[in-house]
Amino acid sequence: MNYDNKEEMFPIVDEQGNITGAATRGECHNGSKLLHPVVHLHVFNSKGELYLQKRPDWKDIQPGKWDTAVGGHIDLGESVEIALKREAKEELGITGFTPELLTSYVFESTREKELVFSHKTTYDAPVIPSEELDGGRFWSLEEIRANIGKEIFTPNFENEFKKLGF
């Protein structure tokens, strides 16, 4: 069975992204609210549809929900761009894309606090979800809007979708 490595080391940052320390995934996700950086990539196709990944049931945060196409933690010593490209390749087999930074913001839930660097790209080559995920597919923006608030998507995705005005 797959699982999240609770001993994986994450950088701890201030709201400007400056590293102030380090902590394990377990420490960052246990309600401590240690601010740690993550990357998001919204993957559109040329028809304007948005790809969403399905989070597997074994994830420690929001299992079984639909989420941003690519989302992952920035490893200790890793840049935003390197983390974004690593996560896109690991999760969806996506390479050779040009990311556009949309925004950065602090997202806080009951269990964690993240500094999110949100990007988008248009990508028409095959998307191949890895075993880290429970699949994925392209959704029309109308289909997403019709399902907001129905416990189908992660709260983080819903907040970001609304914030970005897709």
Domains in the chain: ranges and CATH: 9-164 (3.90.79.10)
Query: Do 151 and 66 contact (CB within 8 A), yes or no?
Result: no
> DSSP for 57-96?
TT-SSSTT-EEESEEEEPPTT--HHHHHHHHHHHHH---S
Per-residue model confidence (pLDDT) at position 4: 60
Q: Residues of the chain with pLDDT > 70: what percent?
A: 98
pLDDT at position 91 is 94
Determine the pLDDT at residue 145: 97
Q: What is the pLDDT, as a whole number, of residue 5? A: 72
Tell me: pLDDT of 116 over 80: yes
Task: Provide the pLDDT confidence category of residue 7 given band limits of 50, 70 and 90.
Answer: confident
pTM for this entry: 0.91
pLDDT at 161: 96
Q: Which residue has the higher pLDDT, 153 or 58?
A: 153
Tens of pLDDT, residues 86-105: 999 999 999 999 999 999 99
CA atoms of 70 and 45, how far apart (whole Å): 14
Using alpha carbons, list the distances in angstroms from residue 105 to 29, 89, 136, 159.
18, 24, 25, 11
Residue 1 has pLDDT above 80, yes or no: no
Residue corresponding to tokens 């990944």: 53
In tens, the pLDDT along 45-67 reads 999 999 999 999 988 788 999 99
SS3 assignment, position 159: helix
